[in-house]
Structure 1
Amino acid sequence: MSVSNDKIPTNLLILDSKNYDKWHKQMKVLFGYQDVLDMIADGITHLGKEATAAQEVKFKEDKKKDYKALFLIHSCVDSDNFEKVGDCDSAKTAWGILEKAYAGADKAKVVRLQIHKRQFELLQMEDKETINDYVTRVTRLGNQMKSCGEAVSKQNFVSKVLRSLTPRFDNIVVAIEESKDLKTMTKDELQSSLEAHEQRMDERGNDKAKAEVALQARFNEKNKKSKGK
């Protein structure tokens, strides 16, 4: 990606019928990066009959910025969307047409948010799932909710994870709830504590398995000796 304001970054997302929300966010950043965001928000103030020389200079500069913003829009839409804005004479007009065309995207986002919130509430750790894998699943769903306009707070994230772990984590959950301030606890702190407990349980499980194998081996050896007498 170019770092010069004179060049347009490459590999930009192209607007199609399915990605308006992501494209909209990208373009707002791109307009800011290219210093033309005011052309999208406010447009150009046209000159009056008695414009001063300074106003004429500013108008010329603004017109150049407007063409630049319009070029960015043209460069980041597919052929179907270009048909919607190809004849527009200003970036603000083109931007408004696309916003209106995809107004339904906001309604779809509300529906997706409700689905994600329901999934978030029902999410439970699976018996053979690791802490890392489960926290990753919760984080991914939280990110999907955020993309739909509602972020999961640190407190809600921590609370969700603690109340949805498998029973083998009951002891550490009680310890965390009694010793930590859940209002300020971060995701990383929670995950670190749970993974440390998980590692200790795994080590104890391995030691127990080794002890059972050794006991079975001794039992088998005694049987062989008994049969050999």
Structure 2
Amino acid sequence: MAQATGNFVTNLPVLDGNNWSRWSIQMKAIIGYQEVVDLVEEGLPVLEEGATEAQRNAHKQNKRRDCKAICLLHQAVDNAHFELIAGSATAKEAWNVLEKHYAGAAQLKKIRLQTMRRQYELMQMDEGERIADFFTRIITQVNGMKSCGERMEDAAIVEKVLRTVTPKFDHVVVAIEESGRVEKMRIEELQGSLETHE
């Protein structure tokens, strides 16, 4: 958690390449707290020719706030990401560089998730496979999908397992389905029931 000293955050989350989604949410909150979010999102307003003294003073204040925002960004990235944004003249430019960098990563994650979904849909328990091994395969696939942003409820996984176990477990599957517990059943509980009958 970030701590504030006076009006400045001293303990920032650090973008390390694996945490863009979480980091960007945290940084938007910190940037909002520091009252510089407008500069990150909209950019530094341009000072028009023949500006009044008040407009020049406002521009000077905005430049100071933009420096504060870019300073926050510099402190909240690891060395590799710092190199990406080091040449950025404004906080908006630095933020856009990071967003563009991670847009490709997000697209890759979507493609990988589609592949994992397909593999998950095709998973079946092999003849002679032990329940523990089948559950390990299922859980490994589910964890991979969750790491790509997929939300999966235990009930959906339980139903998947019940549909895909070998026919020798048909009597157990029928008993579980008739008990009406499928929606509330935990994965571990199902594994225990199936291993008991193995």
Deviation at 1:176, TM superposition (A): 1.8
| Identical-residue share of aligned pairs (%) | 31
Give the deviation of 1:9 after TM superposition: 4.7
TM-score under structure 1 length normalisation? 0.60
CA–CA distance in structure 2, aligned partners of residues 186 and 57 of structure 1: 60
Deviations 1:92-130 (A, max 9, x none): 211212332443323322321221012101223352242
Match of 1:198 among 173, 184, 195: 195
Does the C-alpha gap of structure 1 residues 165 and 58 become closer, same or farther in structure 2, counting only changes over 3 Å?
Answer: farther
CA shift in 2, pair 1:42/1:77, >3 Å: farther
Deviation at 1:173, TM superposition (A): 0.9
The question of whether the paired residues in 2 share the 8 Å contact of 1:40 and 1:91 is answered with yes
Q: Which has the higher contact order (CA 8 A, sep 6+)?
A: 2
The residue that corresponds to 1:144 in the other structure is 144
State the aligned residue count: 185
Instruction: After superposing the two structures, state which structure 1 stretch, 118-127 or 136-145, moved more.
Output: 136-145
Check conservation: 2:67, 2:91, Cα contact below 8 A. no
| Structure number, greater radius of gyration | 1
Distance 1:173 1:34, change over 3 A: same
Question: How far is 1:25 from its partner?
Answer: 1.5
Decide which of 11, 20, 27 is 1:24's aligned counterpart. 20
Aligned positions of 1:50-199 closer than 5 A:
51=54, 59=62, 62-63=65-66, 65-73=68-76, 75-78=77-80, 81-125=81-125, 127-130=129-132, 134-180=134-180, 182=182, 185-186=183-184, 188=186, 190-199=187-196
Give unmatched runs, 5+ long, in structure 1. Answer: 16-21, 203-229
Contact kept, 8 Å, 1:116 with 1:141, in 2: the verdict is yes
Give the aligned CA root-mean-square deviation in angstroms: 3.7
